[in-house]
Homo-oligomer: A and B are copies of this chain.
Amino acid sequence: MTLRVAMIGYGFMGAAHSVGWRQAPHVFSLPDDIEMAVLVGRNAEAVADAAAQWGWAESATDWREVIARDDIDIVDIVTPGDSHAEIAIAALEAGKHVLCEKPLANTVEEAEAMADAAARAAARGVRSMVGFTYRRVPAVTFLRDLIAQGAVGRIAHVRAAYRQDWLVDPEMPLAWRLQKEHAGSGALGDIGAHIIDMTQFVTGLDVTAVSGVLDTIVKQRPLQGSGSGLSGTAADGVGEVTVDDVAIFTGRLSTGALVSFEATRFATGRKNDLSIEVSGDKGALRFDLEDLNTLWFYDRTAPETTQGFTRILVTEAQHPYVAAWWPAGHMLGYEHGFSHQVVDLVTAISEGADPHPSFAEGLSVQRVLAAVEESSQSDSGWVRVGAPVVAETSAG
């Protein structure tokens, strides 16, 4: 059969998702055909241009009408986070499978409603998935597999960071992404969400409590031009940055192990540097997104004199997703994860299985984010994830 896709939204993520929909059917053997049917956006002309550029058959401006169409099977949501809940719930209720870009929502409440809707839909055979695409970088999937096979043994601790530097320049003008009323959150929700999800994904463990601090390093930025739509801006040509640009927090996993997290937009020279290191009593694994075809594995069960971190090129046919691409040693890039996402979603739909990450997993990330904000507002005291008030101390 043919699965017809409607994508709502057409920013940077729209370009990336389009590559996934376009490439996956021609590189992998999918159980169903894919049709890039409709691209939806509010500006008719702009969305028509984007549809033509990216290869969508049609464009439309009203997502509700599109969702109501019988000839649409999958709804792919790449709009800003504040509209995720409404669109996703409507689509699920209309019986459409839903792929929703991360973060699942801007608030725990919305995410809860979405997870509920997804659970109800699943009972009717309708699938949903959150777009934490980095899970599908082959090296990350393989890292998770190795941990599941016991390669690191009992996990002692985890170190996860996502570091960028696009705010380093204090003269960079204010933008809507730096105002809370528009963006909802800063570094924490944008890139911190990725390292929370990746930690939970690769370890198979929940973050159960957090202690942390959010900070805004440059608190005022120049306004550029008039009519910028920025709220509450000062008469003197500068405006307030009202979201965090760095989040440093410590988490505790369900086993009691600690995780150090850092999300920052001020790490000069670090462009898109998500890194994770998992240490256990049998070994360690580490990954860095700026070197994404590589996985480092330290095997404590190897002979003592030849132990060391092994640099594994995750480009062999036996590695996850790789066989469909190129021979060993031929590098994959950023957008390949979007093809893998399509493969896994379409396969799950065809097999009648629930794909991961589920909306429930997206909700659990949202709860950790909320707990970090609460901790930061409470003198960095420990906050139990999911609990409405400061939990009893889980550390000491």
Contact = CB atoms under 8 A, between A and B. Distances in A.
A318 interface: yes
Contact of A157 (B26, B246, B292, B328): B246
Contact of A290 (B154, B331, B376, B381): B331
A269 B212 CA distance: 27
Interface stretch (A12-20, A65-73, A88-96, A173-181): A12-20
A313 interface: yes
A336 B286 CA distance: 26
Interface in A41-92: 53-55
Contact of A215 (B258, B290, B328, B336): B258
A258 B395 CA distance: 22
A327 B248 contact: no
Given A217-B157, A297-B306, A306-B310, A272 B379 contact: no
Interface in A142-177: 142, 146, 152, 154, 156-157, 159, 161, 164-166, 168-170
Interface residues of A, number: 101
A372 to B, nearest CB: 12
Interface in A327-362: 327-336
Interface stretch (A114-122, A124-132, A230-238, A259-267): A259-267
Interface in A292-325: 292-293, 297-300, 302, 304-313, 315-316, 318-319, 325
A217 to B, nearest CB: 5
A330 B266 contact: no
A284 B271 contact: no
A55 B18 CA distance: 16
A315 B268 CA distance: 16
Contact of A396 (B283, B309, B319, B376): B376
B313 A310 contact: no
Given A306-B310, A377-B396, A298 B333 contact: no
Contacts of A214: 395-396
Contacts of A268: 152, 156, 279-281, 283-284, 298, 300
A328 B272 contact: yes
A266 B279 CA distance: 7
A266 B330 CA distance: 17
B269 A309 contact: yes
Contacts of A217: 156-157, 257
A213 B213 contact: no
A142 B266 CA distance: 23
Interface string A1-41: 00000000000100110110011001101000000000000
Contacts of A152: 268
A393 interface: yes
Contacts of A334: 326, 330-332
A380 interface: yes
| Pairs of residues from A and B, 10 with the lowest C-beta to C-beta distance, nearest first | A271-B329, A272-B329, A333-B333, A269-B298, A268-B284, A308-B312, A330-B334, A156-B266, A211-B380, A268-B279
Interface of A: 12, 15-16, 18-19, 22-23, 26-27, 29, 53-55, 142, 146, 152, 154, 156-157, 159, 161, 164-166, 168-170, 211-215, 217, 246, 248, 250, 257-258, 260, 262, 264, 266-273, 277, 279-281, 283-284, 289-293, 297-300, 302, 304-313, 315-316, 318-319, 325-336, 376-377, 379-382, 390, 393, 395-396
